[in-house]
Amino acid sequence: MRPITFISLCIGGLLLSGCQAVVLDPAGHIAAQQRDLLVWSVILMLVIIIPVMALTIWFAWKYRASNKEAKYEPEWDHSTHLELVIWAAPLLIIICLGAITWTGTHLLDPYRSLDRIDHERPVTADVRPMEVQVVALDWKWLFIYPEYGVASVNELAAPVDRPIRFTLTSSSVMNSFYIPALAGQIYAMPGMETKLHAVINAPGEYRGFSANYSGDGFSGMKFAFHGLDDAAFDAWIAEAKAGGRLLDRVSYVDLARPSEHVQPISYGSVDPLLWNAIVGRCVEPGSMCMGEMMALNEQGGTGLDGIRNFLPPGSLQYSRPRVTPLGGDNAGYVMQICTPDEAREAAMGRARLAEESLLAPPRSLERLTGAGLPRNKPFVRSTPASRADAVEAGI
């Protein structure tokens, strides 16, 4: 072997020694099943590839020009046995790959709740998944734990062997949430919720990152994922609560501004209505949520048919969107409520105003809904006998 070849092999081996094949050696049950699917797919394809490559070399050697003992048949053009092998083997491989892919697609559906913690242990009925709300910001990750009332930036933790239910969205552009040791990637899109179910089976610190290019700070959009035992996870939650920071709408607006290479931050308390506002893209006070906008359009929009969807100016100013129905300067406030949480918030606001003798309190906390006026009758062209008859006919 030449010295330069030996040195190149040594350098290549040294560089590869630092690589971690985490996809082939995951720590989560979902990622392990995805690894198995990948391995079996490769094995089935190698059943065809290896014989073809070997036969290519063997044919080239056997029928070389210098081999006078090889059988020479220039008029040969067909073999039934060879045709059966050529077509039957790939067909069987395709059938096997199709069956594995179909099964894996349904069993590993990210929206499907987990039924097993690992290959040996099923998920019992008394186990409740841990909820984690994930927001892809520019260029950092926000994790909200509604069960514990805390949040963190660029740092994620979860107890070992407890199922996790991720709910994901984005603040601006589409992004991709990926922890190779835990599960496959899942997209996060603005104004939408996507879901991912997973579980970590071994304690340790794992790498998470964005797998979809999202702008200037994409390269630094990484975070650490900690798989902890129950005691260590409780201590992590207690440390986050001890920080004392509050994540509300005001602090979220400041956090959502583009920034790069952000160090981990923890919040000891979180506004319980913040997540719905993020998904509805109405965090800023006075902005209209997407759900409200769609409900408003369904009730007649801002035209004559939907005029009863609005409250007059000054009647209910609890940070509802302010719009101008039918044009003009007399803007009103949208009274359409799209979620039960906002309905309760609205009811409390109405009660406070009632104490000030501004508005009567509601009779119940049921969902408030605008009621559109009946649509106008179709216009019928006619020739009235007089102007008075025209006014009476509504023409």
Closest to 215 in 3D by CA, of 255, 171, 263: 171
pLDDT at 367: 46
Phi/psi for 198 (5° steps) reads -155, 175
Report pLDDT for 21.
Answer: 76
Determine the pLDDT at residue 234: 95
Which band of pLDDT confidence, cut at 50, 70 and 90, is reported for residue 359?
very low
pLDDT (tens digit, 9 = 90+) per residue, 93-135? 999 999 998 988 888 999 999 999 988 899 988 889 999 999 9
Angle formed by the axes of helices 80-107 and 29-62, nearest 10°: 170
Q: Band of the pLDDT at 272, cuts 50, 70, 90?
A: very high
**Mean pLDDT calculated for residue range 252-272:** 93
Provide the pLDDT for residue 195: 96
pLDDT over threshold 50, residue 384: no
Asked if 321 and 292 count as a contact pair (C-beta separation under 8 A), the reply is: yes
Looking at residue 7, what is its pLDDT? Answer: 61
What local confidence, expressed as pLDDT, does residue 259 receive?
A: 93
- Taking the C-alpha atoms of residue 261 and residue 266, their distance in angstroms, rounded to an integer, is 16
Burial category of 111 from C-beta neighbours within 10 Å (exposed 0-12, middle 13-18, buried 19 and up)? exposed
Q: Tell me the pLDDT band of 2, cut-offs 50, 70 and 90.
A: low
Write the DSSP assignment of 24-44 as a string of letters: TS-SBHHHHHHHHHHHHHHHH
Lowest mean pLDDT among 129-143, 149-163, 191-205, 295-309: 295-309
For the chain, give every domain's residue range: 23-66+79-108, 130-279, 285-395
Burial status of residue 371 (CB atoms within 10 A of its CB: 0-12, 13-18, 19 or more):
exposed
Q: Which CATH number fits domain 130-279: 1.20.1200.10, 2.60.40.420, 3.10.20.90, 3.90.850.10?
A: 2.60.40.420
Residues, the chain? 395
Nearest partner of 114 among 209, 210, 31, 225, judged by Cα: 31
Residue bearing the bigger pLDDT, 108 or 289 = 108
Which pLDDT value is given to residue 312?
Answer: 56
How does pLDDT run across 310-335, given as a tens digit for each residue?
555 554 444 445 454 444 444 444 54
Residue 279 CA, distance from chain mean position: 11
Which pair of tokens denotes residue 243? 């920080």
User: Given this model, what pLDDT does residue 269 score?
Assistant: 94
> Contact 188/169 with Cβ under 8 angstroms?
yes
Per-residue model confidence as pLDDT tens digits over 22-81: 888 898 999 999 999 999 999 998 988 999 999 999 989 988 888 888 888 888 888 888
- Per residue in 205-253, pLDDT (tens digit) is 999 999 999 888 999 999 999 999 999 999 999 999 998 899 999 999 9
Cα dist. 194→132, 187, 359 in Å? 12, 7, 40
pTM over 0.75: no
